Structure 1
């Protein structure tokens, strides 16, 4: 690390020469622990998510509105809690928040298991939003740990590990349903996976916060001790955005693109339950398969992000993802109110999963390029706010529009990928790495020895 003094702080950042030329493995960087912790945590989250519509239907006749409210309270709490986690990660490092959010989920899932009415489910759903930061925190840790040349691939791997957890979760839920497991059993299993995530983070996760590392490495050098920025919370995050218009554009593009994805993901359970005339266990199974197919699309797409970005750049990858979102919305618009084809709906969910699997890591990589080492922690707060807004505002709006007019709600939703496309178009990319890689390949081809061909 190169240690620099920045005003009243000390900052340890990687040597830029090492950052550009070295390609350590995921084991060497320690990123594997992040992947494993997020994988276990997402299994628990998805287990409760696919059970939530059925549980709410037991307590409420107007299930769609009650589900929309439960989804909204989670994301609203997430929105206001995210600056606190940013402050904690800058002052105490990235590792303590990772452990705490897993323990928070564990406690809330136990609360779910013990809830006997809608009020208990609603309250613990809201409290679980305090820890809804796996994605942004994991992305920040990976950005800290990996050099620039590997960062895009590493972020895609993190997205893939999260989606893998979202694939295992529905499979496990289907298996538990077939074994006759009730709500309490499923949520306690989810709590166990959250506890496992906390243990992995506590035992094997490496500290990666630059300011925390600077405190440790400059203690004997009589430099200024690393302290958290004087600004905190929303003020600090908005300050980071105001210093860089590209971060603002990336932030807006990420928010609306995620919002289009969440129209499917967050209210899919309500759509399946209200439009399928089956018993509760069958509806839960169909919803689990729908979530499985959606996340499988995202997982497969995330594997292609690295190779695609090397050829067409991060913006090109985002364009493809936004086009997939528009195609999925088109499929839902042409669907009829009087006829619901589950397989057709699930196919549109798969395409929407591909959209998120491509656009999500590409947006995060653009942000990691623009965020300076001093502002790297801001990426956590910045994208957590975008994540919360994308889920809460769009899901809440879509949930109520759905009850008014299904087709109209999805027609209105066309505006979100369109705004995301415009934001992506106008953002400036610091380094067009795919063009550099192409130039390197072309140069290598020019210098390749020419074989003699017999005449």
Structure 2
């Protein structure tokens, strides 16, 4: 089945998943196993480990009450000892089961042995049922054909749900070049190219909007309210996304990702043309901005497509690459604005033809994508006919209701809140920064030349900030995630956001534009570094069937973070810009506290931590070996020196004395 190979589903993982459900049902007939979901997650595995002595003892009592004569009571045993006693009993029954695959520590904290242990328990219980007639009704069925059967779409989606736990075996992307090659073959390279061009067009269009909004307000006599009006203009886009995102995600599941992306790019081209050519008032610009917000799900759909194509353990890396492609396009957009200013193209109307053509070209490129929507692929392959609608990816990604259910997990809610606050700080600093440059006497905003100069400097700032962001997404973020873990990466991002918020406060008005550039670069550094880590950590805490909705939930957070607090701070900025920045600096502190208080799972960054420990252990062993070799060489040299100083007769006498 293509879907199975696309996610690198291990056969043993699928077998263990099926077996663990039956073992869970079997043990549940004799002892309460709490909320154990079949040992497929670390949390569930720990629940089983805590109940292992009682559970295994109850199993043996039910199968053969006479076993207590030869095996001590399990009630007082540690989980590992109880399991070994169970293995000993099974071996006494001569069931013919091999134990060579069992790990030394069957209930290790990282859950590394759950596949082997669960399979052994399932086979052992099945064998014991045939040995003891009184146990036929225990509810476990381990037909070998069910193990070797090709996985159904339901089972593939079930295993996909266990992202980050050990139901799926995928090596790290940095260590497996075949995984990178498979991503290129999947069409991901074309997705990155389209994302790059889309980011270029989007930022090229966006960079001309602040001065265009100011020009409209200046004509209407409302330029003194520019900060609040511009944050409303920017926030409206993201508020409309709260309605548009569910619509487009739901539609993409039904008709496919590719058609939706084509339509969105074409509508973006229409919005760019309308805002640049057909709107002469601020109200008209707001209307086109609202329509752009409705189709502004392009980047979120890009993330979903990257998740469709990438192996589960590598999603964080490919999400970084997807974001990096868009940021790289933004760098070229900033350079393009500087060039256009030099050419005398200083208004949104001047740049509109280029933006419209760019979005139209992106729509044409999207026509060559490979479809990635799971339900659409299943329909094409004729493999969704026997699957109830409640078990399909469509239901899981209907993310408004499922996103709301995610917040029942306190840990997920804390990560989500920290994400919204951190994103709010970045958006506040970005939106009010343009207002500050235009209204703080840095540039003469009442003249077209002054607005063009501000526009050019803003583009230069974007080039510097996006260059830093590209370094984060393509290299530094990966290194940080690998060596210090995702939660600590969010701390680094929050510190950068805090510094970016307060670095302007000590200076009187007007402040040098270079101070504002430093603030913008620090804020973008913090946002681009921490953004993927928040999403990854959120996925860690989502329940099995809701993990497909994590991106949808964070899209809601993205819309809230970029709209509500930003609009409020626009009005505060009109009153006092210092108070606005001071309040913005509080949000990263609250976000850091939430991340610190969040009880994190052991699955977070486990593979990287283990790899680091193994490398450290190898270095120590190499150091000890080097010391041993040096000591050996020194002793050999001493012996040679002694031999050289002695005559042959003395060496013979010494040898005789030793013997």
TM (norm. structure 1) is 0.90
Q: Report how far residue 208 of structure 1 moved.
A: 2.7
Q: Per-residue deviation at 1:5?
A: 5.8
**Shift in Å at residue 10 of structure 1?**
7.2
Instruction: Give secondary structure in 1 for the equivalent of 2:170.
Output: helix
> Of residues 400, 403, 419 in structure 2, which corresponds to 1:234?
400
Question: Paired residue for 1:312?
Answer: 484
The equivalent residue for 2:243 is 80
Alpha-carbon distance in 2 for matches of 1:231, 1:295 = 31
Q: Which moved more, 1:86-95 or 1:248-257?
A: 86-95
Partners of 2:172 and 2:332 in 1: CA distance: 36
Contact kept, 8 Å, 1:74 with 1:126, in 2: the verdict is yes
1:268 aligns to 2:442 (yes or no): no
User: What residue is the counterpart of 2:570 in the other structure?
Assistant: 399
Q: Which residue of 1 aligns with 2:202?
A: 45
Cα offset for 1:219? Answer: 2.4
**Partner of residue 523, structure 2:** 352
Deviation (angstroms), 1:344: 1.2
SS at match of 2:280: coil
CA distance in 2, matches of 1:97, 1:241: 29
Q: CA deviation at 1:393?
A: 1.1
Could you tell me whether the CA contact under 8 Å between 1:310 and 1:437 is conserved in 2? no
Distance 1:321 1:220 in 2: 43
- Please give the alpha-carbon distance, in whole angstroms, between the structure 2 residues aligned to 1:377 and 1:447: 43
Using the TM superposition, name which of 226-235 and 288-297 deviates more: 226-235
Deviations 1:318-371 (A, max 9, x none): 1100011111112022232x2311011101211111101210111122234444
2:163 maps to 1:163: no
Q: Which runs of 5 or more structure 2 residues have no equivalent in the other structure?
A: 5-150, 445-449, 635-659
Asked whether 1:100 is paired with 2:263, we answer yes
Secondary structure of the structure 2 residue equivalent to 1:423: helix
Q: Any idea what SS the aligned residue of 1:413 has?
A: helix
Contact 2:337–2:459 (CA under 8 A) maintained in structure 1: yes
1:41 is paired with a residue whose SS is helix
2:170 aligns with 19
CA 1:224–1:348 in 2, change beyond 3 Å: closer, same or farther?
same
What is the CA-CA distance between 1:20 and the residue it aligns to?
4.3
Q: Which residue of 2 aligns with 1:196?
A: 361
The 5 A counterparts of 1:38-437 are 38-61=195-218, 62=223, 63-114=226-277, 115-181=279-345, 182-204=347-369, 206-217=370-381, 219=383, 222-224=386-388, 226=392, 228-229=394-395, 232=398, 234-242=400-408, 244-275=409-440, 276-278=442-444, 279-302=450-473, 303-336=475-508, 338-371=509-542, 374-425=545-596, 426-429=598-601, 430-433=603-606, 434-437=608-611
Distance in 2 between residues matched to 1:246 and 1:218, nearest whole Å: 39
Q: Once the two structures are superposed, what CA deviation does each residue of 1:296-336 show, in whole Å capped at 9, x if it has no partner?
A: 22222222011111100011111100011111112022232
Per-residue CA shift, 1:384-439, capped at 9, x if unaligned?
Answer: 11111111012212211111111111111122112211232215243333322212
For 2:384 and 2:338, the matched residues in 1 are separated by 56
CA 1:170–1:366: 2 relative to 1, 3 Å = same
Would the aligned equivalents of 2:497 and 2:523 in 1 still touch at CA under 8 Å?
yes
Q: Distance in 1 between the 2:532 and 2:600 partners?
A: 17
Shift, 1:262, TM fit: 0.8
CA-based RMSD of the aligned residues comes to 2.8
1:266 is paired with a residue whose SS is helix
Query: CA 1:98–1:448 in structure 2 vs 1: closer, same or farther (change >3 Å)?
Result: farther
Question: Which 5+ residue runs of structure 1 have no aligned equivalent?
Answer: none
* Contact residue 250 and residue 424 of structure 1 kept, 8 A: yes
Q: Is the Cα–Cα contact under 8 Å of residues 263 and 363 in structure 2 kept in the other structure?
A: yes
Task: Report if the CA contact (8 A) 1:250-1:427 is conserved.
Answer: no
Per the alignment, do residues 11 and 101 of structure 1 end up closer, same or farther by CA in structure 2, a change over 3 Å counting? Answer: farther
1:439 corresponds in structure 2 to 613
Bigger Rg, structure 1 or 2: 2
Q: What is the distance in 2 between the residues matched to 1:444 and 1:222?
A: 51
Please give the alpha-carbon distance, in whole angstroms, between the structure 1 residues aligned to 2:619 and 2:230. 58
- CA 1:301/1:116 → structure 2, altered by over 3 Å: closer, same or farther? same
CA deviation string 1:247-296 (max 9, x = no partner): 32222111111111111223322221112233221121112122222322
Cα distance between partner residues in 1 of 2:459 and 2:396 = 46
| 8 Å contact kept, 2:406–2:413 | no
Change (3 A) 1:123 1:55: same
Counterpart Cα distance in 2 of 1:411 and 1:44: 33
Instruction: Determine helix, strand or coil for the equivalent of 1:431.
Output: coil
How many residues matched? 451
CA distance in 1, matches of 2:443, 2:482: 47
CA contact (8 A) 2:402 2:546 kept: no
Structure having greater relative contact order (Cα 8 Å, sep ≥ 6)? 1
TM-score normalized with structure 2 length: 0.63
CA contact (8 A) 1:101 1:131 kept: yes
CA contact 2:158–2:545 (8 Å) conserved in 1: yes
Write the distance in 1 (CA, Å) between the matches of 2:302 and 2:398. Answer: 20
Alpha-carbon distance between aligned partners in 1 of 2:501 and 2:454, rounded to the nearest angstrom: 23
